[in-house]
Structure 1
Amino acid sequence: MEPTSGVENEASGTGAGAPLPRAVGLPARPELEGEVERNPIFDALVGPDEEDVAGLVAYSIYKQNKRAWLDDFVKTTGRAPSEAETRSYIIGESTERRIATYRRLAASTLAGDAPTRMAGRAKGSMSRTAAGALWALAIIVALAVVGLAIHAGYFAGAK
């Protein structure tokens, strides 16, 4: 569960009543002035077309990173981040470079190359093949042990 002190509200994208910084490349939205503002990173990644699957995946990656940052922050400092600390994080995450990175990660994820798999690919597909072979061997051994136990009457039950 995310700490909520000074952290943006999940639904509205605001924290403690102060507006968040605008994401790079997005115009101000006068129709929202005086109302609750939306998360600027959501607007930068998804934009007006809320059915943009790649943008939605990119936003979910951002949220995973934010949750990890919050968890690490609390573990390191023993407290929830202040409003200023949270705003600093959001400003850093809304740079053109970070937005482009989230979009690239989303495209890779949708192409079947999830970020966790991409790191393993640098080591080559050999490690995945070896891991698969080890799992297959473990399953075969487990089945052999169960087969021997059945053959020996271990599961015959007490009479």
Structure 2
Amino acid sequence: MARQDVLSLPQIPLLTTKGATLLPRSLVEPRQRQALRRSNLNPIFGLLVGSSNDIEGLAAYALYKKHKRAWAEGVRTTGREPTPDEEEGFARAAATPDQLDRYRKDAQDILIAFANEFVSDERASIIQEALTGRAEKAFLQIEGSGSFWALVKVGVTSTLITTGILALLAFGVQLFGLDLVDALSIGSN
């Protein structure tokens, strides 16, 4: 019997590997209904993955697939394949908002654990890079300030300019006959 004749308005088709199953509208939020309609493949993918670069959603979908595979293997240990009704029941249970949130939360925990482990493993090289970068920056700053001989030239030049200004000042005082010591003593009286 084809599953198409069972479809009605209060139902949303949910594709599985064995054909279409039905998910009651009451179990799916409006946002999830749109994802189900958009998804050409497994609607659970549309419910868990927001965009193609949604790593958390992709990990959550992988957890869903792992859960589904473990469930199917559990049924197969009884010596038979899962029936379409059993697959429909699994699909309904997996598509509930609570279960979807659990997949997302577990995916988030796995990604955080992975990131922490990666940072822990790379901590030594991160510290080494940071220290090397700081040392190189300090070296370049010292190097950019000039060589020893360049600094000596600047020092000698500034000393010659200061000496020249003082010589001109002394010559001007001598030329005009000013006695600075007398001028200072008059000002203090």
- What is the TM-score with the length of structure 2 in the denominator? 0.45
Alignment partner, residue 57 of structure 1:
59
Q: Which amino acid aligns with 2:44?
A: I
Structure 1 runs of 4+ with >2 Å offset:
12-25, 27-32
Shift, 1:92, TM fit? 0.3
1:102 aligns with 2:107: no
Separation (CA, whole Å) in 2 of partners of 1:113 and 1:31: 33
Of the three residues 20, 24, 27, the one matched with 2:28 is 24
Are the aligned partners of 2:56 and 2:104 in contact in 1 as well (CA < 8 Å)?
yes
Structure with higher helix content: 2
More strand by share: 2
* Shift, 1:39, TM fit: 1.2
**For the residues of structure 1 that align with 2:37 and 2:98, how far apart are their CA atoms?**
28
Aligned residues between the structures: 98
Corresponding letter in the other structure for 2:105: R
Equivalent residue, structure 1, for 2:85: 84
Rounded Cα–Cα distance in structure 2 between residues aligned with 1:90 and 1:30: 13
Q: Give CA-to-partner distance per residue, 1:59-82, whole Å, 9 cap, x none.
A: 00111111111111110x211011
| 1-structure distance, mates of 2:36, 2:100 | 23
Unaligned runs of 5+ in 1: 1-11, 115-159
1:95 and 1:29 map into 2 onto residues whose CA distance is 14
Alignment deviations for residues 57-109 of structure 1 (CA, whole Å, 9 cap, x no partner): 0000111111111111110x211011111011010011010000011001100
Specify which structure has the bigger relative contact order, considering alpha-carbon pairs within 8 angstroms and separated by 6 or more residues.
Answer: 1
TM-score by length of 1: 0.52
Q: CA RMSD in A?
A: 2.9
Distance 1:82 1:74 in 2: 11
Per the TM alignment, residue 20 of structure 1 is displaced from its structure 2 partner at its CA by 4.8
- 1:98 and 1:39, CA in 2 relative to 1: closer, same or farther beyond 3 A? same
Residue 42 in structure 1 maps to residue 45 in structure 2: yes
